Amino acid sequence: MTDCQHCRNELDAVLIGMADAETVRAVRAHLAECPDCTHEAAQMQRVLDSLLHAPPAVPMPAGARERLLASALAQIQQTPAEPIQLTAQAPASRPFVPPQRLPVTPTAPRPVNRQSRLPGLWLTAGLGAAAALAAFVLWPAARPNLAHADVVVAAGNVLVMARSATSNYPLVIRAPGGGLRGVALRQPLPAWYTKGVYAGGRAYLLDAANERLVVLNVARGNIERTYPVPGGAAGLAVKDGSVFVKSAASGELRIFKGESCFINKLAKTTTMPQADYMDAVLPLPERILTTQHTTGQVFSLSPDGEKLLATYHVGGAPVGLAEWQGQVLVLDVQGRLLQLGPDGQIVRTLKLAGHPDKLSVMKDQAYLTDRGGMVSVVDLGAFRVSGERKFGKPMDITAMPNGNLALADAERGVLMLRPDLSEL
């Protein structure tokens, strides 16, 4: 069985949230390198959406979801398999898919178990099965869990988590007391969340795979709107009612204000794998800073982001920005933490092990995450590493108002940490 055949056999399960994490990761990796399967996934999602255009008028009683799913499976198993005829027109613009191939470790194809997942031909099962599936998708698992997380946002004492490897409540809100609230969100492709920020009661979250910025009203728990952000969106900031999004692959800074959008082209387009979508935006009182990690540059822009004021050539691959005591910190994924002077000159350099890609500052300490497993603490006064701890696959870290930290780990979920990195 080819990689494309295996991907298409699993697409339905991934899109409706029934696939396991391993399958979702494999499908996501293949979609990142195969335009044909990406187009197939978009068409299948459109067909699915046509079945799910309106929810039932009353909530589902306990056990109804399981009974409906069992009924759907029974109908599907009794239906002869026929090829799917997808006649929906292709979307006007296809998602940004870099043409280069990603290194994917080959795995032996797994036999399809009709009892554990819906087969790729479920659309032929008839209206009864479709209705059951509609109910199932509109009510995913009643209790969202935090088995893994990729982005974490502190909304006061409330946490918002974004999870890339799931279609079942990709966004989760965690109350101060620990209660969880899942937010359903249709996504044509398995998400790849790269960044999140909080401002004005809303969490702004970048999903680079689906090329969109999602705006979540935290108090209400609903999606207010989305913005299109193609080209590998990774850097994000909100200032004075404007939203700034930096795309790593396209080299563009998009500035949204209300319904208007200004695009500032800062660097040439570069192809790269999805995992390399990394850049940052830092709003300062009199300027906006943003990185371009493919060129080793930091750009200084006017407060509205539309005019280039200066270019700082810091070298390496800058992917993180933070402010500390009026100074600018730059994180280089190749293993450096830099402090810049007022004219963009490097005044202090700290060499780091590994490839840290996320940066958060709390008081006089910086916290760096490395997908290889390490979280490091940097004493900014002495500019040295003062602590380290190994986790699973740290993806993001943020400081909480109570002086503690929230760590998003792709293997262990969301962990609450003390400033010394010990777990609460």
Residues 350 and 411 in one domain: yes
* CATH code for the domain of 248: 2.130.10.10
Domain assignment of residue 123, yes or no: yes
Contact between residue 380 and residue 366 where contact means Cβ atoms under 8 Å apart:
yes
With a cut of 60, say whether residue 101 has pLDDT above it: no
Q: Which domain holds residue 66?
A: 3-138
- Structural domains counted in the chain: 2
Domain assignment of residue 424, yes or no: no
Model pLDDT, residue 45: 63
pTM greater than 0.85: no
| Cα–Cα separations (whole angstroms), residue 350 to 16, 297, 388 | 46, 18, 15
Residues 36 and 160 in one domain: no
| Closest alpha carbon to 322 in 361, 270, 350 | 361
With a cut of 60, say whether residue 109 has pLDDT above it: no
Top-confidence range, 55-69, 123-137, 249-263? 249-263
In the chain, the percentage of residues whose pLDDT exceeds 90 is 60
With a cut of 70, say whether residue 115 has pLDDT above it: no
* Digit-coded pLDDT (tens) for 154-195: 999 999 999 986 767 899 999 998 888 999 888 888 899 999
Model pLDDT, residue 99: 36
Task: Give the other-Cβ count within 10 Å of 403's Cβ.
Answer: 10
Q: Which residues of 63-85 are buried (b: 16+ CB within 10 A; e: fewer)?
A: eebeebbeebbebbeeeeeeebe
Written as six digits, the tokens of 370 are 């490395």
Round the average pLDDT of the chain to a whole number and report it.
80
Model pLDDT, residue 113: 38
Could you say which of 138, 160, 188 is where a domain stops? Answer: 138
What residues have CB less than 8 Å from 310, skipping those under 6 apart?
Answer: 299, 300, 343, 344
- Averaged pLDDT for residues 249-255: 98
Residues 184 and 126 in one domain: no
Model pLDDT, residue 22: 74
Domain assignment of residue 408, yes or no: yes
Tally the C-alpha atoms within 13 A of residue 5's C-alpha that lie toward its C-beta.
7
- Averaged pLDDT for residues 21-48: 75
With a cut of 50, say whether residue 368 has pLDDT above it: yes
Handedness of CA 104, 105, 109, 110 (dihedral sign): negative
